[in-house]
Amino acid sequence: MNKEFKYQNKRIFYRISGIGNPVVLIHGFGEDGNIWNNQVEILKDKFRLIVPDLPGSGNSEMIDDMSMEGMADLVKAIIDQEASPAAGKRATLIGHSMGGYITLAFAEKYPGYLNSFGLFHSTAYADSEEKKASRQKGIEFTREHGVFAFLKATLPNLFSQQTREERPEMINELVRASNNFSAPAIVSYYEAMMKRPDRTHMLQKATVPVLFIMGKNDTIIPMEDVLAQSHLPGKSYIYIFLNSGHMGMLEEKEKCKEILEKFLLEIDETTTNI
Ligand code: MLT
- CA distances to 119, 144, 264, 272 from 114, rounded to whole Å, are 14, 42, 13, 11
Among 221, 244, 251, residue to substitute to test ligand 1 (most atoms within 8 Å of Cβ): 221
Three-class DSSP category at 227: helix
Q: What is the pLDDT of residue 84?
A: 62
Torsion over CA: 54, 129, 111, 221 (sign): positive
Would you give the DSSP letter of residue 121? Answer: S
* Helix H or strand E encompassing 114: strand 114-120
- CA distances to 63, 93, 97 from 234, rounded to whole Å, are 35, 18, 22
- Tell me which residues have their CB closer than 6 angstroms to ligand 1: 28-29, 97-98, 193, 220, 246
- CA distances to 6, 14, 27, 66, 212 from 57, rounded to whole Å, are 15, 11, 9, 12, 24
Q: What is the pLDDT of residue 274?
A: 40
Length of the chain: 274
Cα within 13 Å of Cα(175), Cβ side: 18
pLDDT tens-digit map of 110-157:
999 999 999 999 999 999 999 999 999 999 999 999 999 999 999 999
pLDDT tens-digit map of 199-244:
999 999 999 999 999 999 999 999 999 999 999 999 999 999 999 9
Q: What is the pLDDT of residue 103?
A: 98
pLDDT tens-digit map of 252-268:
999 999 999 999 999 98
Question: Which residues are CB-contacts of 10 (< 8 A; sequence separation ≥ 6)?
Answer: 55, 60, 61, 62, 63
Among 171, 181, 220, residue to substitute to test ligand 1 (most atoms within 8 Å of Cβ): 220
Q: State the distance from the centre of ligand 1 to the C-alpha of 210, rounded, in angstroms.
A: 20
Fill in the amino acid letter for 146: G
Q: Which ligand 1 atom is at minimum distance from the Cα of 190?
A: 8
pLDDT tens-digit map of 155-194:
999 999 999 999 999 999 999 999 899 999 999 999 999 9
pLDDT tens-digit map of 97-113:
999 999 999 999 999 99
Q: State the distance from the centre of ligand 1 to the C-alpha of 271, rounded, in angstroms.
A: 30
Q: State the distance from the centre of ligand 1 to the C-alpha of 274, rounded, in angstroms.
A: 33
Contact 260, 104 (CB under 8 A): no
Among 36, 193, 219, residue to substitute to test ligand 1 (most atoms within 8 Å of Cβ): 193
Q: State the distance from the centre of ligand 1 to the C-alpha of 97, rounded, in angstroms.
A: 5
Q: What is the pLDDT of residue 269?
A: 80
Q: State the distance from the centre of ligand 1 to the C-alpha of 99, rounded, in angstroms.
A: 8
